């Protein structure tokens, strides 16, 4: 008998083509020009509401100059892992500065936020350990749990009774893992209660603050600062691909835990280190954040203007509290149609459909940055209103 072809699934795959044939395919669109609050997409101008560039630093002249200087000084890449030939004095400097900023004993950087979660979770959680994870966490956390040999139990989204029930039921060494700001809907984890439960039941707590650091808390130290529970968070991880305007990730915690991770996290050891330009970008962004916390105020103001406007028009914006504001639509094809109408009206949003969200909760994810002006937000709101009426999303 002939062996079945492992590529059959690819040959039979038609889902994307079907959407393309309808003229509704919204992904992999080439944007051009500098990454900022207004961009060009396929020769038309759009207000960018699909970026995680929260502090608007991707095209900040000081940040760009520091990045270019680092290339001149160090070259373009390290061509090796941190473990071997890929550690520059610049990596160490950034880790020390981040540890100071986040008020942690030590920080370890990774080459992406995704790899941070893979490496941290798979190193720390081993056979006979238990991971309790919020059902709505980012895919990189789920993938990290799959790479680990630990047992994984999901608790209902932000459901503290369910979490407590699981903690009472299960007695293995445990870690609770949650996003600080949930990446799709911009709602916040109930960190004070999670921290209390972790303490009461002797579990460790890891918070992925990809959308929290540089965004939440008076100094931008993220959701633990915002909720005043920093000491209760054992491991604070995040990314440089959002408020830090670049790429990369970090894990911040105690000396012992970070030392262990540095020697055991496979995504750190078996992958090349952050290139010098990226490290310098993050360092410059961190300095600007510390010097100009008003950028966070501007970002929240832009988000609040948009959220308030959308809500008062009657859109379903969920429980968003951060500069991520979802427009929950429900049906996937309608979401693509609304995306297209907004794009044609000059507003770029991110369509989010299953499996990133439950199949009946397709949405447009919008997000805001310090460099969005009131005029930009108001123009976008006008387009939302017209399109929302046309599709019957609002009265």
Ligand X SMILES: Cc1ncc(COP(=O)(O)O)c(C=O)c1O
Token duo for residue 351: 């369509």
Residue 332 near ligand X by CB under 6 A: no
For residues 280 and 65, what is the distance between their CA atoms, to the nearest angstrom?
9
- Please identify, using beta-carbon distances, which residue of 357 and 383 lies nearer to ligand X: 357
**From 31-39, 112-120, 311-319, 365-373, span contacting ligand X (CB under 6 A):** 112-120
Task: Tell me how many residues contact ligand X (CB under 6 A).
Answer: 14
Residues 209-228 that bind ligand X (CB under 6 A): 210-211
**From 106-114, 170-178, 263-271, 363-371, span contacting ligand X (CB under 6 A):** 106-114
DSSP character at residue 33? S
**From 26-34, 203-211, 266-274, 365-373, span contacting ligand X (CB under 6 A):** 203-211
Q: x/- string (CB under 6 A) for ligand X, residues 128-167?
A: ----------x-x---------------------------
The least CB distance from residue 174 to ligand X, in Å, is 21
- Residue for token pair 């600080």: 180
- Strands (E) across the chain are located at 31-32, 38-41, 44-48, 106-110, 130-134, 151-155, 174-179, 204-208, 235-239, 249-253, 324-330, 347-348, 350-352, 362-367
- Please identify, using beta-carbon distances, which residue of 26 and 144 lies nearer to ligand X: 144
Please report, for residues 33, 243, 345, the alpha-carbon distance to residue 30 in angstroms, rounded to integers and kept in the order given.
10, 22, 17
Catalytic site includes residue 211: yes
Report the candidate in 199, 181, 170 with the shortest Cα–Cα distance to residue 320: 181
Q: Would you say 226 and 217 are in contact if contact means Cβ atoms under 8 Å apart?
A: yes
Query: What is the torsional sign of CA 151, 156, 158, 161?
Result: negative
Catalytic site includes residue 372: no
Among residues 208, 230, 321, 343, which is the contact residue for ligand X, using CB under 6 A? 208
For residues 313 and 225, what is the distance between their CA atoms, to the nearest angstrom?
33
Among residues 95, 179, 234, 343, which is the contact residue for ligand X, using CB under 6 A? 179
Give me the DSSP letters along 262-275: HHH-HHHHTSBPPP
The least CB distance from residue 117 to ligand X, in Å, is 6
**From 164-172, 205-213, 290-298, 374-382, span contacting ligand X (CB under 6 A):** 205-213
- Please identify, using beta-carbon distances, which residue of 211 and 300 lies nearer to ligand X: 211
- Residue for token pair 């020390």: 96
The least CB distance from residue 338 to ligand X, in Å, is 22
**From 20-28, 111-119, 228-236, 277-285, span contacting ligand X (CB under 6 A):** 111-119
Residue 54 near ligand X by CB under 6 A: no
For residues 162 and 239, what is the distance between their CA atoms, to the nearest angstrom?
29
The least CB distance from residue 80 to ligand X, in Å, is 20
Residue 187 near ligand X by CB under 6 A: no
Q: Which of 138, 242, 300, 372 is catalytic?
A: 242
Among residues 122, 178, 239, 350, which is the contact residue for ligand X, using CB under 6 A? 239
Burial class (CB in 10 A: 0-12, 13-18, 19+), 87: middle
Residue 368 near ligand X by CB under 6 A: no
Q: Which of 211, 236, 300, 372 is catalytic?
A: 211
For residues 364 and 375, what is the distance between their CA atoms, to the nearest angstrom?
21
Among residues 54, 101, 114, 384, which is the contact residue for ligand X, using CB under 6 A? 114
- Residue for token pair 């305007």: 245
Token duo for residue 124: 């720390």
Give me the DSSP letters along 175-228: EEEEESB-TTT--B--HHHHHHHHHHHT-EEEEE-TTTTTTSSTTS--HHHHTT
Residue 321 near ligand X by CB under 6 A: no
The least CB distance from residue 143 to ligand X, in Å, is 10
Q: Enumerate binding residues for ligand X (CB under 6 A).
A: 112-114, 117, 138, 140, 179, 183, 208, 210-211, 239, 241, 249
Annotated catalytic residues are 183, 211, 242
């Amino acid at each position: 008998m002939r062996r079945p072809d492992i590529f059959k699934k690819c040959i039979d795959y038609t889902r994307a083509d079907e959407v393309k044939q309808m003229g509704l395919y919204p992904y992999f669109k080439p944007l051009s020009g500098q990454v900022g609050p207004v961009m060009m997409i396929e020769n038309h101008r759009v207000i960018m509401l699909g970026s995680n560039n929260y502090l608007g630093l991707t095209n900040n002249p000081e940040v760009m100059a520091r990045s270019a200087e680092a290339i001149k000084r160090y070259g373009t890449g390290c061509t090796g892992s941190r473990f071997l030939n890929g550690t520059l004095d610049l990596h160490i400097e950034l880790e020390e500065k981040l540890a100071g900023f986040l008020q942690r004993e030590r920080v370890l950087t990774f080459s992406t936020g995704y790899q941070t979660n893979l490496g941290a979770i798979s190193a720390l959680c081993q056979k006979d350990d238990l991971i309790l994870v919020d059902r709505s966490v980012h895919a990189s956390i789920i993938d990290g749990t799959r790479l680990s040999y630990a047992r994984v139990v999901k608790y209902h989204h932000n459901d503290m009774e369910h979490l407590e029930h699981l903690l009472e039921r299960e007695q293995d060494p445990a870690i609770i893992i949650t996003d600080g700001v949930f990446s799709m809907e911009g709602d916040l984890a109930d960190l004070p209660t999670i921290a209390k439960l972790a303490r009461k039941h002797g579990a460790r707590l890891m918070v992925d603050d990809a959308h929290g650091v540089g965004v939440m808390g008076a100094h931008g130290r993220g959701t633990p600062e915002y909720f005043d529970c920093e000491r209760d968070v054992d491991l604070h991880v995040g990314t440089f691909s959002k408020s830090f305007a670049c790429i990369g990730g970090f894990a911040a915690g105690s000396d012992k835990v970070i030392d262990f991770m540095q020697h055991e996290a496979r995504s750190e050891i078996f992958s090349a280190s952050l290139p010098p330009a990226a490290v310098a970008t993050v360092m410059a962004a961190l300095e600007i954040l510390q010097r100009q916390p008003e950028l966070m105020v501007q970002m929240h103001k832009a988000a609040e203007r948009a959220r308030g406007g959308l809500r008062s028009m009657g859109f379903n914006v969920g429980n968003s509290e951060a500069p991520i504001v979802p427009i929950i639509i429900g049906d996937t094809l309608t979401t693509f149609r609304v995306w297209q109408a907004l794009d044609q009206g000059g507003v770029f949003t991110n369509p989010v459909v299953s499996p990133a969200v439950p199949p009946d909760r397709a949405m447009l994810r919008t997000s805001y940055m310090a460099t969005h002006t009131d005029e930009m937000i108001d123009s976008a709101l006008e387009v939302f209103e017209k399109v929302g009426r046309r599709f019957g999303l609002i009265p």
